[in-house]
Amino acid sequence: MRDVVPAEEEAEINLTPMLDVVFIMLIFFIVTAVFVKEPGIQVDRPEAVTAMVPDGAAIFIAISASNEIWIDQRSVDVAGLRPVIERLHAENPEGGVVIQADNEAQNEYVLAAMDAAKEAGVNEITLAAVVP
């Protein structure tokens, strides 16, 4: 004769494969996420009617009102800017540079940051602005 199995044992669902899939998806999203690197300070950016959001910006350079240059959470002098940009650009060759200059920053420092980015091999350089 046949063995009779109680109904409670037949209705059991094994959730282990589903949890494995969830953990694999979580790991996938963590690995493929783009991490935004902030420059380290907040600046008062100028307004521009034609401002737009750049695609794939990976390196953010901030220039304060007192002409301090910040990149990757550290203060950098003009002479040391190019090696830092080269290192960050090597980590993400597809990304560009966004320069966030304060309203009171001198053009000399903005141009020095642009020159350092060009010398480091970055082709896409953007000046950050605020849409009014």
Question: Domain spans of the chain?
Answer: 57-127
Torsion of CA 94, 81, 119, 131, to 10 degrees: 60
Binned average pLDDT, 10 residues per bin, the chain of 132 residues: 58 80 87 66 68 70 90 88 90 85 88 92 84 68
**Which SS3 state, helix, strand or coil, does residue 99 take?**
strand
d(CA 47, CA 132): 6
d(CA 89, CA 95): 7
- Would you state the pLDDT for residue 34? 62
Which residues 6+ apart lie within 8 Å of 40 measured at CB? Answer: 62, 70, 71, 72, 73, 74, 75
Q: Which CATH number fits domain 57-127: 3.30.420.270, 3.30.1130.10, 1.25.40.10, 1.10.10.10?
A: 3.30.420.270
- Would you state the pLDDT for residue 112? 93
CB-count exposure of residue 67 (10 Å: 0-12, 13-18, 19+): middle
- pTM attached to this predicted model: 0.63
Which residues 6+ apart lie within 8 Å of 3 measured at CB? Answer: none
- Would you state the pLDDT for residue 132? 67
